[in-house]
Structure 1
């Protein structure tokens, strides 16, 4: 007995004098082989209901019965392929039963009011025109013996399933009990390990916090000592400066002419010191913000101690980071000791500056009277200079940004420099506001004039360099064209013509884009005659015609590109007529 198909399908059941209803019926198809007296194959079709054990309809189809069925219903297949085709039809009905308008339906009709006696089981395809009956089988109702056999088979299968489930249940109980005991054992071990790790972590954190607090206390004590020492030193310096001021006030009348020159230098130094002090104040604010951020990090680390149960591995990494920070702090302490020695030297320099500024105080009083007359004349010039000053202030801001990057090392000097800034402010308060404004404006005007002259000079130099570069570009264009034509044999005329240059070796040049008007340098223009210029133009046209280039590529353009990287010896060798000693420039390397 070989089971080919067994599924629960939705069947439309129709009895006489009853309404049509839908029922879930299990359709089973089996293939039975018999060997006595001859080999035969019978196809068994069985309809059962899982909810009603007394519902049973059978049909046995032999090869002889199939021939008559084939003739009656016009089938086109043989008995060997009939089971598979029948199963395909049932699968189509199974796939269509969930849709609202199924295409393939199963019908079970009986002529009696109750499902007893013979019943007709058919597979019907519905369309918009009619119902097509693909297959119709006449099933017989199961007899008492067949129902009993069916019930016995169901009971035996249930008993076998029950025994299998009991065996499976016992096996799963054993496995679960064994896993439970193992899990309890591992849980106890893990709890012990967790307690041990907790105790070790608490010890390590307490040790680190205690060590950190001790180091912070020592650093604070050192800072207090340094502050007291600096106060004592500043007091001594103040007394010395007072005595020096009294002595210098007696010698001011004799040094009037010398102080006029030194006054300008001191004001420049004063502005530089003011800018440095502002930078240091900004750095002090950044350092305070960094300190606050570090405090917040310490608080967050303390909060994270409560989550050590689940983050043991992460805290080990944090311990290593704290050790690195301790090493960095030790290194910073060493750096601070070195910086203290440097700050002492800076203090001595500031003391000298303070003495010179006090000497200049009285001389500036005499200058005020003279400068009052010149203020009116300078006011108009200052209005014009203010526009230029704004532009220069933008440049100064850029330079200040660069200076900030370079002066990051001096962050540790914030306390000492703050004391020096207070001293400088006290000295500046002694000077009158009118003196500062007049002197600063005078210095700004002089600086602006010097900067204007310097920029004009640099602009002229850059123009000359650009002119020379334009000439080099024109000759290099010719040289590149000759390099393309170097594969062809050159005539003696082209070798004698100075406008055509032989480039047997390749030249390496680097191009930098710039905008400017092309012009010929005065040195080169002095040596080139009109005849030479005409010869150069004709040579360029000939080269362009040979290389297939248009004449527009040999014209001078405003967007020409200067070329660097050619040595002076090579230029003299390649361009004997136009290489002259170039003018030195501050923007281009020789």
Structure 2
């Protein structure tokens, strides 16, 4: 069976002795193909009401039926194109049902007063002159079995939708839990990286401070030893060292403040992310509670549905019993009506006899003296007839009272039927409200998903910002190295006094050497006299453009800590080359 059309349309309903009203009725058109024993096509038209489960009208149109319909209503199309043309007319009615003066209307007329039995479903076009009836179909009300089958199909479809919604809820819960676990893992990794950065920063700052204090102590001892010989040179060196030390300390302080600010920002971001994750956890717990409540409500609704189904079956049994009683009472009423008719015929015969007697009496008033005996006998017969008539009238009155009692019983039974139908409508409304609650839960779950995605995006953005900061720091360190190397060219045989950089993420330190000492290569000994040393020192101060520490602070020691950022080929050279100063 192929469904061609299914929409809720506005239909004008007309019943006998009732005013015309508008109702929203679902029109369903299906095409049924049957191959056994002969290949046939039947068009099924069904009218249902979503609010009234007992409202059901059906019509099956075969090719033979369509030929008679075509002749009766003067149609100009074949059976193959009839479904599409009929759907086009219904779509025109659907498109114009919102307007004030619609051109195409749908009418459902019934000869009974309660919309029962056969009904005519027609498509009417209105204009200023008249109403044109395009198509009129004779629909039949669905039987009890057809209504039960229709309600069973509706219940099965609702159950399938409910199961699909439950599976969808489970999937969303699993996805949310996975996303939460992934977010927690990323947060823990980021916190570990922050702790590593802090530990590295503290270690490097402590090593730099220790090295600086040792170097200051060595300088002071040398200054005391050379005070007698070179006071002026030492004072100049002291001033230079103090200025370079101030500059380097200022640079280190500025770098420390920058690092503290970045650490504060990172901690603030971490706290914000933790607070957002807590809020999301709280929302997730609330959503889970609401899901459990909705599941409990669904279970209670299922139980109510089962109890209501049993009640409906009991009511149907009662209705069948009452219908049997009504049929028996109808038969008794028919019998009583026959008795009444017979009594009426007897009364009419007596009245005719009475009239004939009166005529005879008027005609034979002159002969009263002769026929007094006959008149006396006739009067006695009339008295007897009057007694029989009175008895019959009493029996008729008793029958009328019994009929009134039966009418009251039937009215009470109709009230019971109306109560059961109202209960069924309430149950359907409860089912619709449960479906709406499930839809609202789906919307809340989708909102929670969006919030989780936003938090994950924020975490990714923060990690990207950290990576970009690290890349910028590395690039700046490389640029500073290149500038310093370009300004201080190295000798061809060995490298002396390179700028020392720390490329650790989030930390950077640099020393600018001022003087160039002769590089001692392994395996060679060079003798330098004190006069040559005094000649080299002012020259080295003229060559160094950047203030910094003396090159002896960069000599390689066994107990020194390696500085990060230098390439391995500079730190480890072969023994034939000169020793690198770190």
TM-score grouping bracket, smaller chain normalisation: 0.3 to 0.5
Higher relative contact order (CA 8 A, sep 6+): 2
TM-score under structure 1 length normalisation: 0.39
TM-score, normalised to structure 2's length?
0.40
